[in-house]
Amino acid sequence: MENVYTTNDPPRRISLAADARELIGGGVVVLAVAYALDQWLAFNTKAPLPIFDLFGYGVAIWRISRSKAPPLSAGVAVALCGVVALGALGPYRSPGVALTVLAVYCGTRKDSELRTAGALLFALAVHELWSRGIFAAFAPEFVRVDAGLVGSLVKLTHPDAVWNGNMIATSDAHAIVIEEGCSSFANVSLAVLCWLSMTTLERSKVKKVDLLVVIPVIAMQIFLNVARIYLMALSPPMYEYWHNGLGAQIYANGASVLTIGMTLLGLRLVHKP
Amino acid sequence: MKWAYRLLLGALLIAGIAHRLGPRPDLAQAASHLDRTYATLKPELVGPPEVDHNVASVSVARCPRPLIVASMPPSFTPTAILLSNKRPGDRTYFAYLDWLSTNPDRMAVITRRIGTPIMAMFGLSPYSNSRVMLFISEPGECDVVKQVDWSVYWKP
């Protein structure tokens, strides 16, 4: 049967509304690429890709794709595009600012999948941006805690060692200074991100019992870093091996594998039927 | 309009990649920044500064010993080790962006460290890199550090 149009039909209007899943998910992809390139090309050296971060981005995008959010109005869509543009085209760290805005937007929606994605985006923003600010403010205190742990260990095994502030000398010829970048606390936000990504990959809601898993994961990260700095303090060859050599890779990969393994095992244990 | 948003996101992705792959500040550029900073002292420089890793030794005519300029993370964590190497009577300064002081004022550095990248995002900061702070030690017999515009070091 032929369609019959009459003059009383409302005129067709172009809708400026956008699919929330597509726009927010696409925005997160743009920010993930910008952040990964920032990390990969930092200081003109080809650093390893930030695997945990990309995994977190992946889980967030997956959660966004499963949401049933209503279409975005034109104003909100344009504002979110502006935020993504700021993150993609701004300087180093700008993806973190854009992520924070997206996280707040997603986290305040009614849809539980979007709220979960918001929590994950917020964890990513904290890891990529805000933890650096907090760490910058309290770096001397954080470093002092690390130096205290390493210094105590060194004094136990090498009573002649000299430990002064964040400097530890095991002989006249070898001393190390624990700098801001060496602190164990720099790895805590990464451990939290990994835990949250794996938890939200399994279920859309994080339960209180899941928090029992993250505490040993953080403790393990601190223990591994302290052990590594202790080994570096022992002698120049040990320093070279664990700071620049194969030991540095063993540490990085070992810490990653242990973080994933402990999180998986912990989640299985706390949710055992 | 779905395609308009898709095109916009695609364009943002491509522009973001191109922006990230564009020219970046490198170590050689940082060294030239340091040279530019010393340019203020040029009439008095005795030979070029000697640089060993992140510590430069700058000989100035009116100073009995060279100025020591060390670049370090802007958090004062290596301050103890740097101060332990200074000679009696030496004056030490910390320089970071537009700030120069003899006191390790953490608030002054933190506010600049957080504020500068945010301002840079909107093109409101004259500084291109805020990841390094300078620790300067000058012999007590001369007074040249205050005459140098150290902020040049962080400008593009």
Across A2-16, A129-143, A193-207, the highest mean pLDDT is recorded for: A193-207
| A85/B12 Cβ within 8 A | yes
Instruction: Band the pLDDT of B44: cuts 50, 70, 90.
Output: low
Interface probe, candidates B2, B119, B121, chain A, greatest A C-beta count within 10 A: B121
Residues 13-42 of B with CB under 8 A from A: 13, 15-17, 19-21, 24, 26-27
User: Residue A213's closest CA among A198, A225, A203, A230?
Assistant: A198
Residues 6 or more apart in contact with residue B70 via CB below 8 angstroms: B54, B55, B56, B78, B82, B134, B135, B136
B43 or A64, higher pLDDT: A64
Residues of chain A above pLDDT 90, percent: 45
Q: What is the ipTM of this complex?
A: 0.73
Across A85-89, A103-107, A145-149, the highest mean pLDDT is recorded for: A103-107
Angle at Cα B69 formed by Cα B67 and Cα B71, nearest 5°? 175
Query: What value does the mean pLDDT take over residues B133-156?
Result: 85
B2 touches chain A (CB under 8 A): yes
The pLDDT score that the predictor gives to residue A1 is 45
What does the pLDDT look like over A252-262, one tens digit per residue?
889 989 999 99
B6 touches chain A (CB under 8 A): yes
- Chain A hits for B70, CB-CB cut-off 8 Å, are none
Q: Say whether pLDDT at A13 is over 70.
A: no
Query: What value does the mean pLDDT take over residues A213-240?
Result: 93
A253 or A133, higher pLDDT: A253
